[in-house]
């Protein structure tokens, strides 16, 4: 329909999202589900008023500079926006939105799975049963680290960090956190604030990362910081791969400083890091933190809510620039 804004959806979003998008917009969907390249994004900007991309489409400063003025809004289907150069897009007058809140529980749930799986030898245990190698039992067999009642350090107490803390309270964990600013007593719910990452690391028998990838947080967990953890700590990363120096991670596992790690994101995605594959004490998943049916519908609808507001002449609820 010529009078409806033209929308390009870069990936195969949930059926409910695609149905609503096709009803309300002149929509083209990339049913191939392949990530849009820089050239795809630049070409699309001349044909579409709006794009719903995922974190797999990179709107770098270079891409932003080449976008056609037809493109008015990028309504991300993600909470993280490290794939978008926001100042460069703002300079081009393009509105950018994300999908906060709706994926906090799903991501926190996955972080809990990673923490439990890493602590209790899920990878090695699964393999032993699956390959028929389970031929004995012993009290010293596959002894892991107990989560219940343990000390937990959380870096980043935004929405996902707080949702993770809520789940950790169900395991009676002693929760400590680092955040750019201290939470109110009500929001902290008994969690102890540390004003530096270094102070937090000193008490983090379990550590979970929940901060965005920014120039300041890239390489946050490096060799110096791993060294500050208590011996035999477990680290979980369900946020962004850029936060962890993977060479420093494997060195910490080799030395025993880290007992185990749970990772849903990697420095290189997709694909991950082949050097990690030999570690049975890394529980790895392929960036599926928000991958539940309910959450994917909610993310798609949130992106469309932002578009609806924009094309109704209002400020989208999740406008970043």
Residue 233 or 284 with smaller CB distance to ligand DGY:
284
Closest CA relative to residue 225, chosen from 206, 205, 244: 244
Cis check: omega of the bond before 270, within 30 degrees of 0:
yes
Considering 240, 246, 296, 302, which one is annotated as catalytic?
240
**What single DSSP character describes residue 84?**
B
Per the annotation, the verdict on 151 as an active-site residue is no
Q: Does 80 bind ligand DGY (CB under 6 A)?
A: yes
Sole binder of ligand DGY in the list 17, 27, 30, 78 (CB under 6 A): 78
Sole binder of ligand DGY in the list 79, 108, 112, 233 (CB under 6 A): 79
Which one of the spans 16-24, 76-84, 109-117, 222-230 is the region binding ligand DGY (CB under 6 A)? Answer: 76-84
Least spacing, CB of residue 14 vs ligand DGY, in Å:
13
Residues 6+ apart with CB under 8 A from 286: 264, 270, 272
Return the residue matching tokens 């209002």: 314
- Strand runs labelled E in the chain: 6-9, 26-29, 50-52, 73-75, 95-97, 151-155, 174-178, 192-194, 206-209, 233-237, 258-263, 282-284
Residue 259 or 307 with smaller CB distance to ligand DGY:
307
Q: Copy the structure tokens of residue 306.
A: 């932002």
Considering 12, 58, 90, 269, which one is annotated as catalytic?
269
Least spacing, CB of residue 78 vs ligand DGY, in Å:
3
Residue 81 or 150 with smaller CB distance to ligand DGY:
81
Distance CA 35, CA 285 (A): 19
Least spacing, CB of residue 251 vs ligand DGY, in Å:
26
Per the annotation, the verdict on 58 as an active-site residue is no
Residues 6+ apart with CB under 8 A from 314: none
Q: Copy the structure tokens of residue 17.
A: 């999202």
CB atoms closer than 10 angstroms to residue 254: 10
Residue ranges in 86-125 that form contacts with ligand DGY under rule CB under 6 A: 103
Sole binder of ligand DGY in the list 272, 289, 300, 316 (CB under 6 A): 289
Residue 55 or 159 with smaller CB distance to ligand DGY:
55
Per the annotation, the verdict on 240 as an active-site residue is yes
Distance CA 17, CA 115 (A): 31
Residues binding ligand DGY (CB under 6 A): 54-55, 78-80, 103, 289-290
Give me the active site residues, please. 240, 269, 287
């Amino acid at each position: 329909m010529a009078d409806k804004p033209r929308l390009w959806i870069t990936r195969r979003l949930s059926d409910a999202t695609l149905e609503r998008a096709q009803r309300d917009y002149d929509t083209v969907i990339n049913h191939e589900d392949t990530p849009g390249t820089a050239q795809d994004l630049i070409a699309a900007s001349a044909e579409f008023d709006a794009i719903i991309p995922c974190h797999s489409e990179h709107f770098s400063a270079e891409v932003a500079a080449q976008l056609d003025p037809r493109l008015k809004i990028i309504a991300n289907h993600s909470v993280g926006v490290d794939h978008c150069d926001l100042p460069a897009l703002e300079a081009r007058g393009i509105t950018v939105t994300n999908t906060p809140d709706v994926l906090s529980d799903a991501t926190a749930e996955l972080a809990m799975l990673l923490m439990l799986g890493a602590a209790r030898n899920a990878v090695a245990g699964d393999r032993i049963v699956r390959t028929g190698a389970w031929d004995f039992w012993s009290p010293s067999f596959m002894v892991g680290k107990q989560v219940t009642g343990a000390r937990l350090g959380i870096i980043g107490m935004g929405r996902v960090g707080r949702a993770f803390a809520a789940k950790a309270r169900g395991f009676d964990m002693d929760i400590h956190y680092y955040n750019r600013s201290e939470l109110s007593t009500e929001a902290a719910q008994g969690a102890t604030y540390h004003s530096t990452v270094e102070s937090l690391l000193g008490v983090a028998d379990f550590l979970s990362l929940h901060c965005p990838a920014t120039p300041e947080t890239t390489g946050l967990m490096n060799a110096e910081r791993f060294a500050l953890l208590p011996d035999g700590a477990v680290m979980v990363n369900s946020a962004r791969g850029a936060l962890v120096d993977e060479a420093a991670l494997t060195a910490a596992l080799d030395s025993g400083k880290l007992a185990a790690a749970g990772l849903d994101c990697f420095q290189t995605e997709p694909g991950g890091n082949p050097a990690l594959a030999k570690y049975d004490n890394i529980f790895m998943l392929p960036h599926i933190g928000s991958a539940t049916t309910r959450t994917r519908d909610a993310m798609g609808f949130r992106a469309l809510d932002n578009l609806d507001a924009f094309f109704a002449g209002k400020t989208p609820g999740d406008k970043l620039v």
